[in-house]
C-alpha cells in the first residue's frame, strides 16, 4: 500500500511588510519540511499583503518572476518538497488576478491557478467585498502530482461551487487544496461544513489553508484551517492564531469510500451531468 502523504498547512500570521511576511513563511516552510517531514506544504490566501481591493494593485507581482515567487521556488528546491504558494496578487498584461502558484521538489514551476469565482458578497453590516472591482477571474483548472497523489487547486470562494470540485473529481484528483481567507461572519457557519461537503461529494481529501486572524486589519480572516477526509470527517483543525497543521493523508480512506459507496458510478448521467467547457 502507498505510504500516507504528509501535508503541512501553514496558518501564517500577518506582518507589516511583504519582506517580513516572506521571511516568516520561509522559516515556517523549513520547519514543516525539516522538523515535521512534510512533503507537501500549503500557504494561505493573500498571506504576504493585506487582503483588500485597494492593496491588490500596490502589492501585485509577476508570477513566477516576482520576488515572492523566486523565494518560494528556491526554498521548495532546497527542501525537495512540493509547495503550494498560497495566493498573492498577480499582474499580467495590465490585468490583476488572485493567483496560486505551485513549485515541485526541484524548485521547478508546476503552474498557477487564478481564482475563478471572485469573492463578491454583500451581507449588509457583516461583510461586503467586491474582488471583481479590481480583479479579473481566471478560467483554467490546475492539477499536478505529488508522488501518486493527484492534487487540484481552487481558491477560497471557489469552494462554494460544487460543480467546480466535481470537475476535479472527474479529472481523478485525490486531494483538493483551497488557500482561503473566509470572513468571520460566514466562517463559523460554512468553512468546515463546505470542506466536509466537498470531500464527501467527491470522495477526496479537502484542505483549506487560512491566514491567522488579525483583528487590526480591515478584513479580518476567520482562521480555522482544516482538512477533511474522503468520508467527510474533519482530520485536523486549527484555531484562530498562527499555527501549523501536519496531517497524514491515507489513500486507503479514498479507496474505501469509493468502493463501498460508489456514487460516482451511480450518477444518472443519462438524466444529468456536470459539463466542463474548457
Ligand atoms: N477570500 C474569499 O474568497 C472569502 C470567501 C468567504 O468569506 C465566503 O464566505 O465565501
Q: What are 90-148's pLDDT values in tens digits?
A: 999 999 999 999 999 999 999 999 999 999 999 999 999 999 999 999 999 999 999 99
Residue appearing with cell numbers 461529494: 201
93 phi-psi bin (left φ>0, alpha ψ -120 to 50, beta other): left
Percentage of the residues of the chain whose pLDDT score is greater than 70: 100
Q: Which atom of ligand 1 is nearest to the CA of 159?
A: 10
Q: Whose CA is nearest to atom 3 of ligand 1?
A: 157
Is there a catalytic annotation at residue 45? yes
In short, whether 119's Cβ falls inside 6 Å of ligand 1 is yes
Question: CA dist 54 to 51, 131, 218, Å?
Answer: 9, 10, 11
Q: Could you give the CA distance from residue 108 to residue 11 in angstroms, rounded to a whole number?
A: 24
pLDDT digits (tens, 9 = 90+) for 102-116: 999 999 999 999 999
Q: Give the model's pLDDT for residue 2.
A: 72
Q: Could you give the CA distance from residue 140 to residue 167 in angstroms, rounded to a whole number?
A: 11
Q: Give the model's pLDDT for residue 71.
A: 98
Q: Which atom of ligand 1 is nearest to the CA of 119?
A: 3
Q: Could you give the CA distance from residue 57 to residue 135 in angstroms, rounded to a whole number?
A: 9
Q: First and final CA of the chain: distance in angstroms?
A: 35
Of the residues 6, 39, 112, 115, only one is catalytic, namely 115
Q: Give the model's pLDDT for residue 278.
A: 87
In short, whether 156's Cβ falls inside 6 Å of ligand 1 is yes
Grid coordinates representing 202? 467527491
Is there a catalytic annotation at residue 156? yes
Q: Whose CA is nearest to atom 10 of ligand 1?
A: 157
| Residue 130 CA to ligand 1 centre (angstroms) | 11
Give yes or no for a contact between 81 and 123, defined as CB atoms under 8 angstroms apart.
Answer: no
Residue 69 banded pLDDT, cuts 50, 70, 90: very high
Q: Give the model's pLDDT for residue 218.
A: 87
Helices 18-30 and 67-79: crossing angle, nearest 10°?
10
**How many beta carbons lie within 10 A of that of residue 82, not counting itself?**
24
Q: Give the model's pLDDT for residue 147.
A: 96
In short, whether 229's Cβ falls inside 6 Å of ligand 1 is no
Quote the radius of gyration of the chain (alpha carbons, Å). Answer: 18
Is there a catalytic annotation at residue 34? no
| Residue 181 CA to ligand 1 centre (angstroms) | 6
Of the residues 156, 173, 209, 243, only one is catalytic, namely 156
Q: Which residue from 29, 36, 34 is spatially nearest to 10, judged by alpha carbons?
A: 29
pLDDT digits (tens, 9 = 90+) for 226-278: 999 999 999 999 999 999 999 999 999 999 999 999 999 999 999 999 999 98
| Residue 125 CA to ligand 1 centre (angstroms) | 16
Give yes or no for a contact between 212 and 243, defined as CB atoms under 8 angstroms apart.
Answer: yes
Sequence-separated (6 or more) residues with CB below 8 Å from residue 135: 53, 56, 89, 96, 97, 98, 115, 118
Q: Which residue from 179, 20, 162 is spatially nearest to 99, judged by alpha carbons?
A: 179
Q: Which atom of ligand 1 is nearest to the CA of 46?
A: 1
pLDDT digits (tens, 9 = 90+) for 53-66: 999 999 999 999 99
Question: CA dist 162 to 11, 197, 251, 256, Å?
Answer: 25, 9, 22, 22
Q: Could you give the CA distance from residue 210 to residue 238 in angstroms, rounded to a whole number?
A: 9
Q: Could you give the CA distance from residue 51 to residue 127 in angstroms, rounded to a whole number?
A: 13
In short, whether 181's Cβ falls inside 6 Å of ligand 1 is yes
Question: CA dist 193 to 89, 162, 189, 219, 222, Å?
Answer: 27, 13, 7, 22, 14
Q: Whose CA is nearest to atom 9 of ligand 1?
A: 186
Amino acid at each position: 500500500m502507498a505510504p500516507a502523504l504528509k501535508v503541512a498547512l501553514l496558518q501564517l500570521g500577518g506582518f507589516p511588510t511583504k519582506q517580513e511576511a516572506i521571511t516568516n513563511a520561509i522559516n515556517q516552510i523549513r520547519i514543516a519540511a525539516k522538523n515535521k517531514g512534510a512533503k507537501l506544504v500549503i500557504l494561505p490566501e493573500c498571506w504576504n499583503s493585506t487582503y483588500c481591493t485597494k492593496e491588490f494593485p500596490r502589492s501585485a507581482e509577476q508570477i513566477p518572476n516576482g520576488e515572492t515567487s523566486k523565494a518560494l521556488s528556491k526554498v521548495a528546491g532546497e527542501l525537495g518538497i512540493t509547495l503550494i504558494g498560497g495566493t498573492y496578487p498577480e499582474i499580467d498584461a495590465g490585468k490583476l488576478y488572485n493567483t496560486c502558484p505551485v513549485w515541485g521538489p526541484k524548485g521547478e514551476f508546476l503552474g498557477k491557478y487564478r481564482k475563478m469565482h471572485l469573492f463578491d458578497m454583500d451581507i449588509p453590516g457583516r461583510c461586503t467585498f467586491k474582488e471583481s472591482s479590481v480583479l479579473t477571474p481566471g478560467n483554467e483548472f490546475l492539477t499536478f502530482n505529488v508522488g501518486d497523489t493527484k492534487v487540484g487547486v481552487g481558491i477560497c470562494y471557489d469552494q462554494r461551487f460544487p460543480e467546480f470540485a466535481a470537475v476535479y473529481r472527474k479529472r481523478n484528483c485525490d486531494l483538493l487544496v483551497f488557500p482561503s481567507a473566509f470572513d468571520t461572519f460566514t466562517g463559523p457557519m460554512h468553512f468546515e461544513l463546505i470542506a466536509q461537503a466537498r470531500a464527501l461529494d467527491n470522495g477526496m481529501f479537502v484542505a483549506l489553508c487560512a491566514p491567522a486572524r488579525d483583528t487590526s486589519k480591515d478584513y479580518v480572516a476567520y482562521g480555522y484551517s482544516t482538512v477533511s477526509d474522503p468520508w467527510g470527517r474533519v482530520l485536523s483543525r486549527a484555531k484562530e492564531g498562527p499555527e501549523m497543521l501536519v496531517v497524514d493523508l491515507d489513500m486507503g480512506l479514498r479507496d474505501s469510500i469509493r468502493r463501498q459507496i460508489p456514487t460516482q458510478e451511480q450518477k444518472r448521467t443519462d438524466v444529468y451531468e456536470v459539463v466542463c467547457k474548457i
